[in-house]
Each structure stands twice: as structure tokens, then as C-alpha cells.
Chain A
Amino acid sequence: MAISLNAVASVEGFVRTREFEKKGEMRMTTVRSWRPYVAGALVGILAIASVFVSTKVLGKAKYLGASTTFVRSAGLVEKTVASDHVADNEYYQSKKVKVDWQFMVVLGILIGSFAASRIDRSFKFESVPPIWSERFGDNVGVRAVGAFLGGIVAMFGARLAGGCPSGHGLSGLMQLSLSGFIAMAGFFGAGVLVARMVYKPKKGEGIR
């Protein structure tokens, strides 16, 4: 991990920042950052290594994904109040409600992100994100309701589609899977359309 973090940090030198004036206020923006390319390429190597190691050690190729873990987690929570209901549910039966490889990957994402953000001091508590606050204000409750409802729709969609931007997007496209290409088109197609409606950027502001 230290090696990969250093590799990403070393390209900081390539980052050029530029100030530009927009509607009277000065903003800092980062252009031509190599970060996403380098970190992305390293994720590509991680995906290859994961498939190789899981095949050798576990006897089955494991491809990165995240959304099935939400099904298993929901099942684990529901189990504490209605274990029979979970046991009888066909979907939970097919996905197997248990802590598995992918569950640990998703948990690891939380830990890895926490560690990396503490190391380079980019960790920051935030209760309402930018863009959202410009449109809906700083009310935590409004953000909570929006994110909660968005989360319900998105996860329902991901389960119907059979995956999320990790499983369909990254792993699907790496394998040249037809379903991955269809899903990516849908994710971004609807995302672009709905983001435009929701955040309504005013004319000439931001959109090129």
C-alpha cells in the first residue's frame, strides 16, 4: 500500500493549479491532474492481481464489485428481527446472507480511504457537500432525505441491473461484457439527465 500511495503522491508535481475569475469571485481549480489516471491504472493492476490471486488461492476468480454486499447487509440486519422471513426470501437465498469476500472488500474500502485520507491530510468532516449546498442550502435534513431517497432508487436499480459502477462498470468492461456496456450507458445517461434537472446550472455557468 505504501508503494502505491507514494506512486500517486509523486505525481503531485505534475499538478498545475490555475486561478480564474468567475462571477466576481476567485476560485481555485485543479487542471491537468494526473491523479485520476495514475490511481485508476493502479486499480486496473489491483483488479488483475485480485483475479489472479483469488483464482490461485481460492480456486475461483473474484472480480471487484460492491452492490451485492448491500443485499447481504440488508439481509443480516433484517435477520435480527425476522429471521424466518429472510430464510424464506428467494432473493436472499440466491445471494446468500453472509459475510463473504466482497463484503470484506467493501469494508476495506472504508478503512483504506480513511487511512489514505489521514496520511495525506485530505480527511475532512463534511455534513453537506458542495454543488448540493449551492442548490439546496446547508440544511442537513434536506441532504439526508435527498441522499436517502436517492439511495433507495439507485440500489433498487443496481440490483435490477445486476451490478453497480464497480461490478458492471469496472469489472464488466474489463471483461468486455455486453451487460457492462449497456449498464454503463444507462448509469451515465440517466445520471447526466437527472443531474441537469436536479442541480439546474444557470446559463453559461460551468457548462461548456
Chain B
Amino acid sequence: MELWIGLMTGILFGALLQQGRVLRFEKQVGAMLLQDMTILKFMLSAIIVGMIGINLLVHLGVVDLSVKSTQVGANLIGSLLFGAGWAVMGYCPGTSLGALGEGRWHAIWAILGMLVGAAIYAEVYPVMKATVVTWGSFGKVTLPQLFGISPWVVIPVLVALFLLLFFWFEKNDL
């Protein structure tokens, strides 16, 4: 059952990524070159809808959050490394499989590289765990928890910010 739900979710996710045209190398690198903000429009739209819906369900006590730990050192160094590799390969882990699906078969090199990268990380994990991962640990914390305010204060601010960004993207034909 778990696997079937996962597969259905993935098929829908893949179809929407493809229809949003965010799977393409030129869209991902285009965003990093600040020429084409398609992937940001897509991500921020998903986040606006998702954060309202999920926080509503949490508010109603229907579902739980599953927040990743904040370890400032690991989050920051890791994400900077990711960004550097992302710029060169032009795909992120999820979109690489989707790109392969729509015929961009060169994504296979990126996928192979990422498998090797994951294997290397598994080898050096004990060292990372003892060093970088311990730097600046805040635990599983959300912005509202950090500032001691309601998520319903944070969400409207973010929505307004994202809508302003959309306005700016469209105004500048990005």
C-alpha cells in the first residue's frame, strides 16, 4: 500500500513538473542566470498553496509536521555545495528523473554522478556527523516556533512577499 501511494503521488508530481516546464536544464540554469524565473514561479506557487493547506490541517489536528533538523553549519555548507553542483549539472535530484522521462537523456550522467555522490557521503558520514553536523544545532524548529509567534502571522507575510516577487518577475518578463 505504501509503495502504491508513493507511485501514484510520484506520477502526479512528475506530470505536473513536466507541465510546469520546470524539468528542463535551460529553465533551471536560466533561473540561476536570473534570466528565466519559471522554476521559482512554480516552487513559490506550490509553497503558497502547500503552506496554507498543511498548516490548516496541522491547526485542525489532522496531520503532523515532519520538520528537518536545523544544523546551521551542515544546512549552509551542504546547500552551498549543492548549489554549485546544481549550476553545472542543471538538474536537482527530483527533476533529473523527470528530465529523463521527457527525453532529455543526458540527465543520466547527472543521475549517475548523484548516486556516486550519495555513496561518497555514506562513506564519510561518521566524520561529518562528528564535525559539521554538530555546528549550530537548533533541532527541529519552524520559523513561528523560533520567534514564538503564530504561523498565521508568518504565512500572510510570506504570501505577500512571494506575490510581490511574481509581480516583479512578470513586469520584467523573467
Interface residues in chain A, defined as those with a beta carbon under 8 Å from any beta carbon in chain B = 1, 4-5, 8-9, 29, 31-33, 35-48, 50-55, 57-58, 61-64, 66-67, 69-71, 73-75, 77-78, 89-92, 99-117, 120, 122-132, 140, 143-196, 198-199, 201, 206-208
Most buried by A among B24, B93, B98: B93
A157:B50 contact, CB within 8 angstroms: no
A179:B66 contact, CB within 8 angstroms: no
**Of the residues B19, B75, B98, contact of A5 by C-beta under 8 Å:** B19
In the assembled complex, the Cα of A87 lies from the Cα of B9 at a distance in Å of 30
Which residues from chain A contact B156 at a C-beta distance below 8 Å? none
**Of the residues A38, A157, A169, contact of B43 by C-beta under 8 Å:** A169
B93:A70 contact, CB within 8 angstroms: yes
B118:A39 contact, CB within 8 angstroms: no
Known: A154-B82, A161-B82. A140 touches B118 (CB 8 A): no
Which residues from chain B contact A53 at a C-beta distance below 8 Å? 5
Which residues from chain A contact B148 at a C-beta distance below 8 Å? none
The smallest beta-carbon distance between B110 and chain A, in angstroms, is 4
Known: A66-B92, A109-B17, A151-B114. A179 touches B101 (CB 8 A): no
B70:A150 contact, CB within 8 angstroms: no
The smallest beta-carbon distance between A4 and chain B, in angstroms, is 7
User: Which chain B residue lies CB-closest to A9?
Assistant: B19
Asked if B63 is at the interface (CB within 8 A of a chain A CB), the reply is yes
Which residues from chain B contact A92 at a C-beta distance below 8 Å? 122
B111:A151 contact, CB within 8 angstroms: yes
B106:A90 contact, CB within 8 angstroms: no
A57:B5 contact, CB within 8 angstroms: yes
Which residues from chain A contact B18 at a C-beta distance below 8 Å? 112-113, 116-117, 122
Give the 10 A-B residue pairs with the shortest CB-CB distance, closest first. A108-B10, A151-B113, A186-B79, A44-B49, A112-B14, A154-B85, A190-B83, A161-B78, A157-B81, A40-B45
Which residues from chain B contact A148 at a C-beta distance below 8 Å? 109-110, 112-113, 116
Interface size class of B (residues with CB under 8 A): 35 or more
B93:A131 contact, CB within 8 angstroms: no
B144:A149 contact, CB within 8 angstroms: no
Q: At the interface, is chain A mostly helix, strand, loop or mixed?
A: helix
In the assembled complex, the Cα of A127 lies from the Cα of B105 at a distance in Å of 6
Which residues from chain A contact B70 at a C-beta distance below 8 Å? 177-179, 182
The smallest beta-carbon distance between B153 and chain A, in angstroms, is 11
**Of the residues B84, B91, B109, B174, contact of A194 by C-beta under 8 Å:** B84
Near A by CB (< 8 A), chain B positions 76-133 give 76-94, 96-107, 109-123, 125-126, 128-129, 132-133
**Of the residues B29, B90, B94, contact of A109 by C-beta under 8 Å:** B94
**Of the residues B14, B29, B49, B172, contact of A41 by C-beta under 8 Å:** B49
B62:A175 contact, CB within 8 angstroms: no
Which residues from chain A contact B92 at a C-beta distance below 8 Å? 66, 154, 164-166
The smallest beta-carbon distance between B155 and chain A, in angstroms, is 8
User: Which chain A residue lies CB-closest to B55?
Assistant: A176
In the assembled complex, the Cα of A88 lies from the Cα of B76 at a distance in Å of 29
User: Which chain B residue lies CB-closest to A2?
Assistant: B15
Known: A5-B15, A58-B1, A195-B29. A106 touches B10 (CB 8 A): yes
Which residues from chain B contact A47 at a C-beta distance below 8 Å? 46, 49-50, 53-54
Known: A48-B54, A108-B11. A149 touches B118 (CB 8 A): no
